[in-house]
Amino acid sequence: MDPSLSNVLSSAEMQAFASGFPVMVAHLIVTLLLLAAGAAVYVLMTPWKEISLIREGNPAAAIGFAAVLVGLAIPLAVSLSVSTTVRDIAIWGVATLALQLLVFRIVDLILTGLPQRIQNGEVSAAVVLAGAKLATALILSAALTG
């Protein structure tokens, strides 16, 4: 083996990569599973059937659901960035999902009439709902960094 290649493979950077990469992948998998679980719970608790509406070509439902995914991902990403172990990620991830889903539900209740308007395909209603959900996600994320 070429001595320079041997030096590169045994460098501190490569050793750090070799030990850190599997940890990063584990953190990523846990966070993606949390995101999928949060999205599934949201779909079950919404007053309208977004997935069916999206399949039917309803753009308002697509905008609303996309905002939910991003709105769940933002606090999960912050939780991931401040956590050091898989256990930390799981604990903070579940906590942030529970809070975010609660806030999403409250937003849905405060902005009454939007579910029906989204079912009817009104994009303007979906944009307002998306904005409210993304705004709450950003605020929750800031609270996480305390």
Condensed to tens digits (0 to 9), the pLDDT of residues 93-144 reads: 999 899 888 888 888 788 778 888 888 999 998 999 899 889 999 999 998 8
In terms of C-beta density within 10 A (0-12 exposed, 13-18 middle, 19 or more buried), how is residue 141 classed?
buried
Q: Residue 50: what are its φ and ψ, rounded to 5°?
A: -60, -40
Instruction: Kindly report, residue by residue over 15-47, the tens digit of the pLDDT.
Output: 888 888 999 999 999 999 999 999 999 999 887
* Domain layout of the chain by residue ranges: 30-145
Q: Residue 53: what are its φ and ψ, rounded to 5°?
A: -65, -40
Q: Sorting pLDDT into bands at 50, 70 and 90, what band is 5?
A: low
| Burial readout 40-75 (b: 16 or more C-beta within 10 A, e: otherwise) | eebeeebebebeebbeeebebbbbbbebbeebbbbb
* Rounded-to-integer distance, Cα 19 and Cα 14, Å: 9
For residues 130 and 14, which has the higher predicted lDDT (pLDDT)?
A: 130
* Rounded-to-integer distance, Cα 24 and Cα 6, Å: 25
